[in-house]
Structure 1
Amino acid sequence: MKKFLLPLLLLLPLIFTAQLQSPSEFLGYELGSQFTRHHQVVDYYKYLAQSEPNRMKLMEYGKTNERRPLLLAYLSSEDNIQNIESIRLEHLKSTKGEGQPDKAIVWLSYNVHGNESVSTEASMQTVYDLLTTKSNYLENTVVIMDPCINPDGRDRYVNWYNQFKNTSYNVDPNSKEHHEGWLSGRSNHYMFDLNRDWAWLTQAESQQRLKQFNKWLPHVHVDFHEQGVDSPYYFAPASEPYHEVITDFQREFQVTIGKNHARYFDENGWFYFTKEVFDLLYPSYGDTYPTYSGGIGMTYEQGGSGRAGLGIITSIGDTLTLKDRIAHHHTTGLSTVEVASKNTEKLNEEFKKFYQNKDFKYKSYVLNGNEDNLYKLARLLDQHEIEYGIGQNTTAKGFDYNTGKQGSARSTEKSMVISADQPKSTLVKVLFEPRAKLSDSVTYDITAWSLPYAYGLDAVASENFIGKSEVEGSIYTPVVNDINDENYGYVTDWNSLEDAKFLAELLKEKVRVRYVNKPFSMDGNDYKRGSLVITKGDNKYHSDFTGTLKNILKNYSPNKELTVVNTGFVDIGKDFGSRYVDVIKDVKIAVLSGDPTSTLDFGEVWHFFEQQLNYPVSILDADYFNRVDLSKYDVLVLPDGNRYRSFLKDNAMEKIKDWVKSGGKLIAMGESIKTLSTDKDFRIKEKEEEKDSTISLGAFDSSQRERIKSEITGAIFKAKVDPTNPLAYGYDDTYFTLKLGDAAYNYLDGGSAVYLTKGANVPVSGFAGSEAQKKIAETLIFGSERLGRGHVIYMVDNPLFRGFWENGKLFFANALFMVN
């Protein structure tokens, strides 16, 4: 009897595991035969966690804008799950050169782009197999799975596809089910690309995810994607350029993983490619950010994406199905965990080495400037768990970001000092370096992003360690405002988005505000153009002027300093009753959406109003634009997009022009300017290019290298600012602009607020081709012109790019409120 009992006991775990339902069994349809809605995915993961509580833990780490849950599943052996917090803490000791961790940490992220929908389907098969046939991988490995980073975008795609697919699905590429509309499922609710938000953290999904990511800092992170229908599978190793901080081991281990994938793909006769297209430079990707945090970060790309549906005929006549796509992502997912489990000791050893002292050129970064922008930067650094302090009244010498040369800066108690001597030193270098080193000028994204430029701060990068003191509480100087019924009024500055948010709250609460068009002095204080004036006399009919002002300062602008004034008679300049002190209108704003615009660029504008400025905006879709009465709006924004030529035909163009001439304000961004420039009523004109009649006889293989001579891949340029122009109120005489292309327009006579001067066409950071540099020389960046009784504002460069170019946002606020 005893002879049979032991084998039976050994079989019991297998019998129990065999009872675990596969995705197909649980969902009631064969995986890959239809798309699974997000709530069904959540249900399956909950089922697994409930069925296998000793080997799987499930947590909800947040919610999306549309209130869908964000999940993380933790998988490992029973013993590891029981001790998972101890494993995590022991692993994090490596960042201090301590501890003896002996587990590999693998994080698998699925569906960051919603219409790259196969990866969430594959995740369900992967998690099932890790709990069943591949459970041996979990003995020395903790696997963290995010089944869907972007639930809002994914459900948008899946619901659309289910509405329009044929019964059964149609593989004809011309069929409706293979052609998403303007609002595709790729982006999140606000149409942001979450795969480009890891470093900037503008979106709710990114902010909540990074809190959990920093608790683990995995050895390996995989970001599952899809690419074009006709592309085979892509996996590591990545393409050049690699950022110079990436270690030899991080490079080598990508090859190790890639070869293991290749073994499985070769067995199945599947095509793939490596070392092309997808580089490791831009820091805000799901592969680069984990890499700069010490891990092996990788992108995997399956052919398909939103066009593929359940099945599609490719250009060579093959049929690509969702089941095929699942099989490929499922294979690389398991292969990744397999390699990590076989290299646990090496992964831990190299992770610890990564966090040892780095001999980077710059040891400290000293930043001075606008207090609001310093505060915004501090909040970003807090989210990344990057350490910083305040200065100690010393002088820092080093690279001056403003001049591009050696210089110096005072490091005072109002300065921010960031040291490279900290665990996140590699990330500090990448985010703050003046100019990223490029091993190859052909890149997948922007090539410049340095945070001192993005936040408009004066900065010096020093080759020495600069002393700093710990920050106690906020880096803001505490503000106590004297607000009472006896005061004549208040004056405050205007030089940041925080000031614009304060103004927006005042306008929403029907508080009348004025702004000054000439600098003035009063009671020993100097005030610049754009300064806000709030008086009791202007608000005598307000039901609770003083109480409302106190409430706004307490709840929305606690660090906003108001100076009390007891007269409208100024010492130097224009008195408060002058025509140079204008009332700011409570403007009604509309933004165009739909086919002419880029979803991403529209999303940046929409997010700016709703989540940053907190000011109401109406969305007018192009489909019914001609039926809208524009007289109901004071401002119309045209986001960037490449379809304006077909949209701004006779009716729409004349409608907009008549509205502007009657007093409307048009804000044209990016490519919308190009179409306006062809109309005789607008003074904006494209710069004429000098045509080179020389015929190139270069080799065919060099054509890509020739093309990049005419491209600007996200480079930073030092521009000239006219601070007397209302569009530039609150700025000094220079602005570092991020250019994303070679669009070039002539100066506007009397209306050029920001522009490139002669010799400023060479980037201070990032790549710009030689021909592109010639083209943009002496051209407009931001400007305005009068048209009838209204205004047209041109934004050639995007001041709201990806929500992270903080120093550009005041230009947009000026366009809304100051240009009158």
Structure 2
Amino acid sequence: MRPFLLPLTLLFTLISISQDIKSPSEFLGYELGTEFTRHHQVVDYYQYLATTDPARVKLQEYGKTNERRPLLLAYVSSPENINNLENIRTEHLKSTTGESTATKAIVWMSYNVHGNESVSTEASMQTIYELLTDKSDYLVNTVVLMDPCINPDGRDRYVNWYNQNKNIPYNVDPNSKEHNEGWLSGRSNHYMFDLNRDWAWLTQVESQQRLKMFNQWLPHIHVDFHEQGVNSPYYFAPAAEPFHEVVTPFQREFQKTIGKNHAKYFDANGWFYFTKEIFDLFYPSYGDTYPTYNGGIGMTYEQGGSGRAGLGVLTNIGDTLTLKNRIAHHRTTGLSTVEVAAKNAEQLISEFKKFYRNKNFKYKSYVLSGDQDKIDALTRLLDQHQIEYGISGGGSAKGFNYQTRKNETLRNTANSLIISTDQTKGTLVKVLLEPNAKLSDSLTYDITAWSLPYAYGLNTLASEVKLNAGQNQNNATKTNRSVDGDAYAYITDWNSMDDARFLAALMQKKIRVRHALKPFKTVEGSFDRGSLIITKADNKNNKEYVSALNEAATKHNKNLVATSTGFVESGKDFGSRYVQMIGEVKVAILSGEPTSTLQFGEVWHFFEQQLHYPVAILDSEYWSRVDLSEYDVLVLPNGWGYEGFFKELQLEALKEWVSDGGKLIAMGGAIKGIDGDKGFDIKLRKKESDKDSTAIEVQSYDDGQREGMKEAITGAIFKTKVDPTHPLAYGYDDTYFTLKLGQDAYEYLEEGTVVYLENETKPAAGFAGSEAQKKIAKTLVFGVEEHGRGQVIYMVDNPLFRGFWENGKLFFANAIFMVD
């Protein structure tokens, strides 16, 4: 290919502009690396560059965070490319159909996804400055997209905290307060979610808005800049095993190409680094794997430092690691990445086209059937990923049944989804929907199972043939009969989060709602346990009854069945004690230590952004001074250190509150804080391993870690049994697939065992060690124990994990509204 030559007049103009552009240090008024830059100052610098050099920098605000900070994307390239940006984008996307004549490499660099891994945003400013000055030749055949801060809320939380707590001058002693963030660290976003684990699940506004832009570009290369422990050398590609089997030989090899280029610069400076360790390419929701599964070269770069490092800190070998050091390393790998892309643009374009050719995957189609609300929830996610699907309309299909894990022939329902791998996003379809991802190594960085059919609770068949389907049918509309207020009552079902949101909306409008404890039949139809019953008599004093009920039914797409009588054909009449009023529920969540920051955030986000129901947050620093009688429910999120958290008097007060009618939801590690040894007088008992603890087997040092995997569960999916007659399980069938994140195991309750594992503990998907499988046999997953007039609800597994295990969320809603 002939090199692109700039006209002399334009070249001289660019040289003049480059000389006039202020460096970050000049613009900010302090030397980069001597202070942490607040997000608004970063925005100012990028706006300054776009204003000063509009021929080569285009800035786009693509969204806002929960705390209303702007999310930015900067496009950096040659004047010709910026002027032709839309044509370059559309021509590049044609590569997915093999029709493109694209000539430009697309590189996307994402910074500061973890807020307290703060160096990368600083490095981004130096990187873009050098791309516009010393390294502008890289931009001739390359378009660089830079997101200077994916997580502005977390970054400013850290930067503000650091500025408030640092010594002047900064102190390198790692024991000094400036190196020890508290519980509310800057790592996560506003809702305490880890945005680097949300690319596929899209639970957070930052992820949702970013993916819209990502799908408009599908870059050849995507880099996610991170930090790790203070004492760790720099990490860059190639990645570690396991690689998902869809990662192509070229994607593997090109990671080596990039890594060797980085090594050249690191070697010249005498900087330490490592590759092919720790950070694998398997879990699909990372900033390296998700772009990889969309055809790019996705990579994580890790600099030693994080929130512990501050402006400078002593390492364990006595060296001082400064923010300036950290900036230099990230700047180097960023520029090196663009350099490699510029030199290999033709190959990147060619291989990107090859990625999107038809793949010979084992399963060609996935057929998913089940409740319409769950189908709708999944299609909303598929739409965000631009995954195509259709409706079966009936018939039958043969393939692997996810429920039985056998090859069978099943009849499709009229609303069954059919999702084919024969589409642009076919590789992503396989990764997200396949029954069990092939695992080449059990030593992984994250969970090993995530299959969306299990996560959404849909009966699924994986077929080895391509099945025909009708057009996409997004979020089918139910028949919603208008509420006129004359009916004796209105009835609706209870089996999804849409139903829970509908109930939450009614309760906030002070509409009184009952629920059925037994199945019943009226002339209008049959209704299962948990069905909601809204009567005219219960709401006779509510002037907004009709309008509020209509509004909620329309908003939540609810089909309300009107009935003229409370007399049922079979089951219990509406005046029966088996048709109970759902009382007003005031909820509180414990925050702060000993709860996990992330898992507190999962509960907080569930109430505010998923259920849309008010919740009080009681911090552990003062919660013991709060009058618990003001609350009906207290949630203890999973965490570490609960064993020593509750003092004797606090535990006694908690026990008394439950006995007086309170509802305590203990999740994961929180159960350890209220066990029988602590005096709470619960009947739940931990199951200990049957393994002889006195038996010692000699093993090599190298084999130790792998041997330990026999007792580990790395995020695997298990089929459990369910008691659907219990209020905690209303809306569920007699089986449920749970995502188990560890081997904590508790014996069955004498009464109140609701979801549980039987003897068969081989995972449906993911990795579980042989000893761990033995330990979790015949153990509790979810259960309820009565205490006086109240209850303790145990959630050994986490139904709210990362906000994506959709089918577990109704258990949590049941715990709030149905268990009484």
Normalised TM-score (structure 2)? 0.98
Matches within 5 A, 1:507-522: 507-522=507-522
Specify the code of the residue in structure 1 equivalent to 2:798: N
Is 1:250 paired with 2:251? Answer: yes
The Cα shift of 1:562 comes to 1.1
Specify the code of the residue in structure 1 equivalent to 2:650: A
Q: Secondary structure at the match of 1:328?
A: helix
Is 1:430 paired with 2:420? Answer: no
The Cα shift of 1:240 comes to 0.1
- Encode CA deviations 1:606-631: one digit per residue, 9 max, x unaligned: 00000000000000000001110000
Is 1:118 paired with 2:119? Answer: yes
The Cα shift of 1:10 comes to 5.8
Task: Assess, with a 3 A threshold, how the Cα gap between structure 1 residues 480 and 690 changes in structure 2: closer, same or farther.
Answer: closer
The Cα shift of 1:370 comes to 1.0
- Taking the aligned partners of 2:613 and 2:234, their CA distance within structure 1 comes to 44
- Taking the aligned partners of 2:579 and 2:696, their CA distance within structure 1 comes to 58
Report the equivalent of 1:3.
Answer: none
Report the equivalent of 1:561.
Answer: 559
The Cα shift of 1:306 comes to 0.4
- Taking the aligned partners of 1:454 and 1:171, their CA distance within structure 2 comes to 46
Choose from 566, 573, 576 the match for 1:578.
576
The Cα shift of 1:9 comes to 8.5
Report the equivalent of 2:337.
Answer: 336
Report the equivalent of 2:493.
Answer: 493
Contact in 2 for aligned 1:482/1:564 (Cα 8 Å): no
Report the equivalent of 1:679.
Answer: 678
Specify the code of the residue in structure 1 equivalent to 2:355: F
Contact in 2 for aligned 1:390/1:412 (Cα 8 Å): no
Q: Secondary structure at the match of 1:191?
A: coil
- Encode CA deviations 1:576-600: one digit per residue, 9 max, x unaligned: 1111110001100000000110000
- Taking the aligned partners of 2:747 and 2:438, their CA distance within structure 1 comes to 32
Matches within 5 A, 1:452-467: 452-467=453-468
Report the equivalent of 1:260.
Answer: 261
Identity of aligned residues (%): 68
- Taking the aligned partners of 2:230 and 2:8, their CA distance within structure 1 comes to 50
Task: Assess, with a 3 A threshold, how the Cα gap between structure 1 residues 342 and 9 changes in structure 2: closer, same or farther.
Answer: closer
Report the equivalent of 2:210.
Answer: 209
Contact in 2 for aligned 1:626/1:651 (Cα 8 Å): no
Q: Secondary structure at the match of 2:263?
A: helix
- Taking the aligned partners of 1:500 and 1:78, their CA distance within structure 2 comes to 53
Specify the code of the residue in structure 2 equivalent to 1:460: L
- Taking the aligned partners of 2:389 and 2:9, their CA distance within structure 1 comes to 60
Q: Name which of structure 1's ranges 10-19 and 356-365 shifts more when overlaid on structure 2.
A: 10-19
Report the equivalent of 1:772.
Answer: 772
- Encode CA deviations 1:480-500: one digit per residue, 9 max, x unaligned: 313112211111110001101
Specify the code of the residue in structure 1 equivalent to 2:332: T
Matches within 5 A, 1:130-141: 130-141=131-142
Contact in 2 for aligned 1:755/1:780 (Cα 8 Å): yes
Unaligned runs of 5+ in 2: 1-6
Contact in 1 for aligned 2:198/2:285 (Cα 8 Å): yes
The Cα shift of 1:464 comes to 0.6
Count of residue pairs the alignment pairs up:
811
Specify the code of the residue in structure 1 equivalent to 2:158: Y
Matches within 5 A, 1:294-693: 294-472=295-473, 474-523=474-523, 525-554=525-554, 556-557=555-556, 559-677=557-675, 678-680=677-679, 681-692=681-692, 693=694
Contact in 1 for aligned 2:480/2:558 (Cα 8 Å): no
Normalised TM-score (structure 1)? 0.98
- Encode CA deviations 1:122-174: one digit per residue, 9 max, x unaligned: 00000000000000000000000000000000000000000000001000000
The Cα shift of 1:658 comes to 1.1
- Taking the aligned partners of 1:153 and 1:52, their CA distance within structure 2 comes to 30
Unaligned runs of 5+ in 1: 1-5
Q: Secondary structure at the match of 1:539?
A: coil
Contact in 1 for aligned 2:729/2:811 (Cα 8 Å): yes
- Encode CA deviations 1:174-209: one digit per residue, 9 max, x unaligned: 000000000000000000000000000000000000
Q: Secondary structure at the match of 2:138?
A: helix
Specify the code of the residue in structure 1 equivalent to 2:561: T
Q: Secondary structure at the match of 2:160?
A: helix
- Encode CA deviations 1:755-785: one digit per residue, 9 max, x unaligned: 00111x1101000011111110100000001
Q: Name which of structure 1's ranges 149-158 and 697-706 shifts more when overlaid on structure 2.
A: 697-706
Report the equivalent of 1:188.
Answer: 189
Specify the code of the residue in structure 2 equivalent to 1:580: Y
The Cα shift of 1:689 comes to 2.1
The Cα shift of 1:319 comes to 0.4
The Cα shift of 1:11 comes to 4.4
Task: Assess, with a 3 A threshold, how the Cα gap between structure 1 residues 124 and 645 changes in structure 2: closer, same or farther.
Answer: same
Q: Secondary structure at the match of 2:400?
A: strand
Task: Assess, with a 3 A threshold, how the Cα gap between structure 1 residues 310 and 579 changes in structure 2: closer, same or farther.
Answer: same
Specify the code of the residue in structure 1 equivalent to 2:20: Q
- Taking the aligned partners of 1:534 and 1:646, their CA distance within structure 2 comes to 45
- Taking the aligned partners of 2:708 and 2:10, their CA distance within structure 1 comes to 68
Contact in 1 for aligned 2:478/2:559 (Cα 8 Å): no
Q: Secondary structure at the match of 2:678?
A: coil
Report the equivalent of 1:78.
Answer: 79
The Cα shift of 1:652 comes to 2.1
Is 1:13 paired with 2:11? Answer: no
Contact in 1 for aligned 2:480/2:553 (Cα 8 Å): no
Q: Secondary structure at the match of 2:689?
A: coil
Query: Runs (4+) of structure 1 moved beyond 4 Å?
Result: 6-12
Is 1:723 paired with 2:721? Answer: no
Report the equivalent of 2:58.
Answer: 57
- Taking the aligned partners of 1:186 and 1:567, their CA distance within structure 2 comes to 56
Is 1:799 paired with 2:799? Answer: yes
Report the equivalent of 2:157.
Answer: 156
- Taking the aligned partners of 1:412 and 1:442, their CA distance within structure 2 comes to 40
- Taking the aligned partners of 2:116 and 2:477, their CA distance within structure 1 comes to 46
Q: Name which of structure 1's ranges 541-550 and 154-163 shifts more when overlaid on structure 2.
A: 541-550
The Cα shift of 1:8 comes to 9.4
- Taking the aligned partners of 1:652 and 1:423, their CA distance within structure 2 comes to 57
Specify the code of the residue in structure 1 equivalent to 2:581: V
- Taking the aligned partners of 1:751 and 1:7, their CA distance within structure 2 comes to 81
Specify the code of the residue in structure 2 equivalent to 1:612: Q
- Taking the aligned partners of 1:176 and 1:99, their CA distance within structure 2 comes to 55
Cα RMSD, aligned residues only = 1.1
- Taking the aligned partners of 1:818 and 1:478, their CA distance within structure 2 comes to 24
The Cα shift of 1:524 comes to 5.4
- Encode CA deviations 1:202-260: one digit per residue, 9 max, x unaligned: 00000000000000000000000000000000000000000000000000000000000
Contact in 1 for aligned 2:241/2:441 (Cα 8 Å): yes
Specify the code of the residue in structure 1 equivalent to 2:636: L
- Taking the aligned partners of 1:470 and 1:646, their CA distance within structure 2 comes to 57
Task: Assess, with a 3 A threshold, how the Cα gap between structure 1 residues 380 and 701 changes in structure 2: closer, same or farther.
Answer: same
- Taking the aligned partners of 1:648 and 1:727, their CA distance within structure 2 comes to 26
Q: Secondary structure at the match of 2:621?
A: helix
Q: Name which of structure 1's ranges 686-695 and 540-549 shifts more when overlaid on structure 2.
A: 686-695
